[in-house]
């Protein structure tokens, strides 16, 4: 079992992977039992060759997508602490010892490398990426009542308990958003750690598609809000349906009926009735799903306890 595992998911990063590995080696020289893992995701350039030459442990994930790579990394690597960073040389390896300290000595489950509070908006040359990051951060902090400052950063540290109890569901770049929401919902300890961000070097291109991946992230936020906050989600939906029914029922059905004693808009009455029924069903669906979600949280606590017991045995 490693003391520290540095995880680098890679796809066509031949221009930067050597430097990233060397930087990680330099800052972890005094940290015993540290290994650097490069997980290649079907690169067509010399990423694997260069990573092997620099002494990294190279493994492969053949199903495309960053989420798929992280799923395999979390399954295969056992360590007391994990540091994950991209292979594009945009994150400073110098922050690794401090992020390790937060996990090992201060008991945090996740440390978030916060780019947005430092140099990201000056260094980043893709303006829509900055807008998207702000939108995602505000959405999640509003819906889930959290204070994570950089939702989509790829520079993070994890505890053993988090890695071995976290179910990876996302396949692509929305994985960082999923992790940020998960750690908040499960009430785990999160630390925002401000880092300096630098843009990709000349010739290195981002694999993130601003619009398609951005819409996936927004769709994921909607889905996870429904899954993790079912009573609120279906409660709001129920309220909206009942208010919609009342909006049409009162002026078009109720007021004419009080005046003439006759129902003059039967189709409106029928639609309003269906809206009210749908609202009632939605409300009780939220109650049932909320009970199931509470059960899932209890099961997650048991997974955390089991992971902690296994870590003690490995020590």
Phi, psi of 302, deg, nearest 5: -70, -35
pLDDT of 251: 93
In 3D space, the residue among 240, 229, 241 whose CA is nearest the CA of residue 143 turns out to be 229
Query: How many C-beta neighbours within 10 Å does residue 266 have?
Result: 9
pLDDT of 65: 94
Nearest-angstrom CA–CA distance, 140 and 135: 9
Angle in degrees, CA 168, 171, 175, rounded to 5:
60
Angle in degrees, CA 69, 74, 75, rounded to 5:
100
Q: How far is CA 197 from CA 164, 186, 188, 295, in A?
A: 29, 29, 26, 40
pTM of the model: 0.84
Q: What is the mean pLDDT of the segment spanning 288-315?
A: 88
Task: Specify whether the backbone of 172 is left (phi greater than 0), alpha (psi in -120 to 50) or beta.
Answer: beta
Crossing angle of helices 230-249/210-228, nearest 10°? 90
Helix (H) or strand (E) holding 68: helix 66-76
Nearest-angstrom CA–CA distance, 72 and 183: 19
What is the percentage of the chain residues whose pLDDT exceeds 90? 69
Burial class (CB in 10 A: 0-12, 13-18, 19+), 132: buried
Which residues sit opposite 112 in a β-bridge? 156, 192
Q: What is the pLDDT of residues 16-58, one digit of tens each?
A: 999 999 999 999 999 999 999 999 999 999 999 999 999 999 9
Q: What is the pLDDT of residues 147-191, one digit of tens each?
A: 899 998 999 999 999 999 999 999 988 999 999 999 999 999 999
Angle in degrees, CA 130, 11, 89, rounded to 5:
55
């Amino acid at each position: 079992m490693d003391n520290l595992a540095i995880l680098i998911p890679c796809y066509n990063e031949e221009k930067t992977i050597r430097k990233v590995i060397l930087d990680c080696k330099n800052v972890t020289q005094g940290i015993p039992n540290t290994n650097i893992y490069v997980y290649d995701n079907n690169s067509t350039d010399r990423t694997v060759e260069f990573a092997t030459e620099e002494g990294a442990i190279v493994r492969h994930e053949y199903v495309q997508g960053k989420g798929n790579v992280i799923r395999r990394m979390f399954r295969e690597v056992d360590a007391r602490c994990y540091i994950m960073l991209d292979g594009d040389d945009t994150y400073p390896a110098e922050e690794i010892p401090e992020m390790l300290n937060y996990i090992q000595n201060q008991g945090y489950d996740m440390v978030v490398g916060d780019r947005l509070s430092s140099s990201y908006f000056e260094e980043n040359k893709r303006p829509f990426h900055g807008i998207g990051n702000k939108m995602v951060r505000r959405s999640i902090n509003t819906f889930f009542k959290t204070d994570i400052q950089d939702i989509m950063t790829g520079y993070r540290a994890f505890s053993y308990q988090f890695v071995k109890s976290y179910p990876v569901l996302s396949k692509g770049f929305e994985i960082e958003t999923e992790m940020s929401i998960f750690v908040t919902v499960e009430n785990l300890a999160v630390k925002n750690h401000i880092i300096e961000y630098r843009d990709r070097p000349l010739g290195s291109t981002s694999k993130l598609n601003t619009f398609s991946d951005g819409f996936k992230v927004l769709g994921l936020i909607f889905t996870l809000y429904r899954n993790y906050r079912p009573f609120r989600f279906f409660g709001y939906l129920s309220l909206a349906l009942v208010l919609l029914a009342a909006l049409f029922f009162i002026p078009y059905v109720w007021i004419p009926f009080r005046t003439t004693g006759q129902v003059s808009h039967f189709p409106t009455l029928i639609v309003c009735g269906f809206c009210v029924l749908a609202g009632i069903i939605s409300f009780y669906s939220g109650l049932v799903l909320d009970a199931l979600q509470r059960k899932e949280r209890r099961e997650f606590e048991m997974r955390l306890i089991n992971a902690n017991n296994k870590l003690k045995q490995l020590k």
